[in-house]
Amino acid sequence: MTKVGIIRCQEQSNDCAGWSCFPALRERTGAFAAYSEVHLVGFETCGGCGRGRPNKIVARAKRLKEHGAEVIHIGSCLLGSCPSKDAYLKALQEQVGVPIVEGTHPTRPPGAPPHPPGP
Protein backbone atom coordinates (compact mmCIF):
# COMPACT_ATOMS: atom_id res chain seq x y z
CA MET A 1 0.00 0.00 0.00
CA THR A 2 1.34 3.42 -0.95
CA LYS A 3 0.88 6.24 1.53
CA VAL A 4 0.05 9.46 -0.31
CA GLY A 5 -0.13 13.13 0.59
CA ILE A 6 -1.85 15.70 -1.61
CA ILE A 7 -1.04 19.40 -1.87
CA ARG A 8 -3.61 21.58 -3.60
CA CYS A 9 -4.02 25.27 -4.44
CA GLN A 10 -5.09 27.30 -1.41
CA GLU A 11 -6.93 29.86 -3.55
CA GLN A 12 -9.02 27.19 -5.22
CA SER A 13 -9.68 25.44 -1.92
CA ASN A 14 -12.31 28.11 -1.25
CA ASP A 15 -14.45 26.53 -3.96
CA CYS A 16 -13.27 22.92 -3.90
CA ALA A 17 -13.15 20.39 -1.10
CA GLY A 18 -11.45 17.75 -3.21
CA TRP A 19 -14.50 17.05 -5.38
CA SER A 20 -12.35 15.46 -8.09
CA CYS A 21 -9.24 14.44 -6.10
CA PHE A 22 -11.04 12.11 -3.69
CA PRO A 23 -12.98 10.14 -6.33
CA ALA A 24 -9.77 9.76 -8.37
CA LEU A 25 -7.95 8.52 -5.27
CA ARG A 26 -10.76 6.12 -4.32
CA GLU A 27 -11.20 4.77 -7.87
CA ARG A 28 -7.47 4.95 -8.66
CA THR A 29 -7.89 7.02 -11.80
CA GLY A 30 -5.78 9.88 -13.11
CA ALA A 31 -2.37 9.99 -11.43
CA PHE A 32 -3.52 7.42 -8.84
CA ALA A 33 -3.92 4.70 -11.49
CA ALA A 34 -0.28 3.76 -10.88
CA TYR A 35 -1.08 2.27 -7.45
CA SER A 36 -2.65 -1.07 -6.63
CA GLU A 37 -3.58 0.24 -3.15
CA VAL A 38 -3.39 3.77 -1.83
CA HIS A 39 -3.86 5.34 1.60
CA LEU A 40 -4.26 9.10 2.04
CA VAL A 41 -2.23 10.45 4.95
CA GLY A 42 -3.02 14.13 4.42
CA PHE A 43 -4.75 16.70 2.21
CA GLU A 44 -2.99 20.06 2.47
CA THR A 45 -2.92 23.41 0.69
CA CYS A 46 0.17 25.08 -0.72
CA GLY A 47 -0.01 27.76 1.96
CA GLY A 48 -1.12 30.54 -0.34
CA CYS A 49 0.59 32.43 -3.09
CA GLY A 50 4.24 32.71 -2.25
CA ARG A 51 5.18 34.70 -5.34
CA GLY A 52 7.75 32.12 -6.34
CA ARG A 53 9.12 31.57 -2.83
CA PRO A 54 8.63 27.87 -2.10
CA ASN A 55 9.16 27.91 1.68
CA LYS A 56 5.48 27.39 2.58
CA ILE A 57 4.78 24.56 0.17
CA VAL A 58 8.06 22.81 1.07
CA ALA A 59 7.24 23.02 4.80
CA ARG A 60 3.80 21.53 4.18
CA ALA A 61 5.24 18.73 2.05
CA LYS A 62 7.76 17.91 4.77
CA ARG A 63 4.93 17.75 7.30
CA LEU A 64 3.07 15.28 5.06
CA LYS A 65 6.26 13.21 4.90
CA GLU A 66 6.55 13.30 8.71
CA HIS A 67 3.00 11.90 8.87
CA GLY A 68 3.96 8.96 6.66
CA ALA A 69 3.59 10.13 3.07
CA GLU A 70 5.79 8.05 0.80
CA VAL A 71 4.83 10.12 -2.23
CA ILE A 72 3.28 13.57 -2.60
CA HIS A 73 0.87 14.46 -5.37
CA ILE A 74 0.54 18.05 -6.50
CA GLY A 75 -3.12 18.77 -7.20
CA SER A 76 -4.29 19.24 -10.75
CA CYS A 77 -5.72 22.60 -9.63
CA LEU A 78 -2.29 23.89 -8.63
CA LEU A 79 -0.67 22.65 -11.82
CA GLY A 80 -3.27 24.31 -13.98
CA SER A 81 -3.28 27.75 -12.40
CA CYS A 82 -0.15 28.46 -10.35
CA PRO A 83 2.28 30.93 -11.90
CA SER A 84 5.01 29.62 -9.57
CA LYS A 85 4.45 25.91 -10.17
CA ASP A 86 7.81 25.33 -11.86
CA ALA A 87 9.75 26.89 -8.97
CA TYR A 88 7.63 24.96 -6.46
CA LEU A 89 8.09 21.63 -8.22
CA LYS A 90 11.85 22.13 -8.43
CA ALA A 91 12.11 23.01 -4.72
CA LEU A 92 9.89 20.11 -3.69
CA GLN A 93 11.91 17.63 -5.73
CA GLU A 94 15.19 18.94 -4.29
CA GLN A 95 14.19 19.43 -0.64
CA VAL A 96 11.49 16.98 0.46
CA GLY A 97 13.05 13.55 -0.05
CA VAL A 98 10.03 11.67 -1.43
CA PRO A 99 8.77 11.39 -5.00
CA ILE A 100 6.70 14.36 -6.16
CA VAL A 101 3.99 13.44 -8.66
CA GLU A 102 2.38 16.06 -10.85
CA GLY A 103 -1.39 15.74 -10.83
CA THR A 104 -4.23 14.03 -9.06
CA HIS A 105 -7.40 13.66 -11.13
CA PRO A 106 -7.95 13.85 -14.86
CA THR A 107 -8.77 17.38 -15.92
CA ARG A 108 -12.40 18.16 -16.68
CA PRO A 109 -13.52 18.47 -20.26
CA PRO A 110 -14.42 22.00 -21.41
CA GLY A 111 -17.88 23.02 -20.22
CA ALA A 112 -18.06 20.37 -17.48
CA PRO A 113 -19.32 21.50 -14.08
CA PRO A 114 -16.58 22.31 -11.54
CA HIS A 115 -17.61 19.35 -9.37
CA PRO A 116 -20.26 16.66 -9.42
CA PRO A 117 -23.78 17.91 -8.73
CA GLY A 118 -25.13 17.34 -5.24
CA PRO A 119 -27.89 14.88 -4.32
Q: Any bridge partners for residue 100, and if so which?
A: 72
pTM to 2 decimal places? 0.88
Domains and CATH numbers, the chain: 2-102 (3.40.50.1860)
From first to last of its 119 residues, the chain has per-residue pLDDT tens of 999 999 999 999 989 899 999 999 999 999 999 999 999 999 999 998 877 789 999 999 999 999 999 999 999 999 988 999 999 999 999 999 999 999 999 776 545 555 555 44
Q: How far, CA to CA in Å, does 91 sit from each of 67, 116, 118?
A: 20, 33, 38
**Is the Cα torsion angle 40, 75, 85, 14 positive or negative in sign?**
negative
Q: How far, CA to CA in Å, does 66 sit from each of 10, 19, 109?
A: 21, 26, 36
Cα–Cα distance, 95 to 98 (Å, whole number): 9
Cα–Cα distance, 53 to 42 (Å, whole number): 22
